[in-house]
Structure 1
């Protein structure tokens, strides 16, 4: 879709710090991360919501989420991760995306009122993306 931000990232028209690419899925850093390393996973095919996800994309998308949840622990010394999908409500971009957020006990995340952070600069964002790419192999 020409007016979809995530489709534009997938097409390479909009820059993003990509951490994972498969024939079916792309993962890139969230520009407003809950914590540094917060990644969004999206199907390459424009699918608006989880309900519309074709069966043949279920395993590639959620398999990538599983791999990335492991990678944030390895790459970022996180104790775990928070994996979530907003479906219509709070879905700021109408293209299905899975949030994979690194977590550490005592990180301050409580409920669904999340503080947001920023990367110091583009170089720091690139460093986080590189760590995640390396952990994904």
Structure 2
């Protein structure tokens, strides 16, 4: 079955497309955190960051940089967040990079686990051999 992104690329699903090339597409998120929330995706259904060919990854990063500047000009956000999920956290089964204009009162937040602040030695041990 085709991914949602493939269905957008083939125009089976309607989307507000902001950018499209032979390798990359960017479009509005249909359930935005804020107006201007975009997804940047490869045309082909690569599932994760590890799967992306360097050329496609480089174009995604260039598009992200360009859209960042355009979103700042248009929306004047307090910041911009980039979010990219892999594995079970990737609900689309197709690599996508979220770019989200952020505002002080948008209530979008980071919720972490309850492990709490760690001292440097615990962090050093947990990352040993990485």
TM-score band by shorter chain is 0.7 to 0.9
Q: Which has the larger radius of gyration?
A: 2
Task: Identify the residue that residue 83 of structure 1 maps to in structure 2.
Answer: 82
- Evaluate the alpha carbon distance shift between residue 74 and residue 11 of structure 1 in structure 2; reply closer, same or farther with a 3 A threshold: same
Per the alignment, residue 116 of structure 2 pairs with none
Q: Is the 8 A contact 1:42 1:96 kept in 2?
A: yes
Which residue does the alignment assign to 2:28? 29
Gaps of 5+ in 2: 113-130
Q: Structure 1, residues 9-41: CA drift from partner, whole Å, max 9, x if none? A: 011121101111223211111111111111001
Q: TM-score, normalised by structure 2?
A: 0.79
CA drift at 1:81: 0.6
Secondary structure in 2 matching 1:89 = helix
SS at match of 1:51: helix
Q: Which residue of 1 aligns with 2:6?
A: 7
Distance in 2 (alpha carbons) for counterparts of 1:41 and 1:112: 24
Question: Which consecutive segments of 4 or more residues in structure 1 shift more than 3 A?
Answer: none
**Corresponding residue of 1:59:** 58
Cα distance in 1, alignment partners of residues 95 and 87 from structure 2: 9
- Segments of 5+ residues of structure 1 without an aligned counterpart are 114-137
**C-alpha displacement at 1:112, in angstroms?**
4.4
Q: Which residue does the alignment assign to 1:49?
A: 48
| Distance across 2 between alignment mates of 1:71 and 1:89 | 31
RMSD value, Cα: 1.6
Q: 1:79, 1:105 within 8 Å by CA — same for their partners in 2?
A: yes
What TM-score, normalized by structure 1, do the two folds share?
0.75
Q: Per chain length, whose mean CA-contact separation is higher, i.e. which structure has more relative contact order (CA < 8 Å, sep 6+)?
A: 1
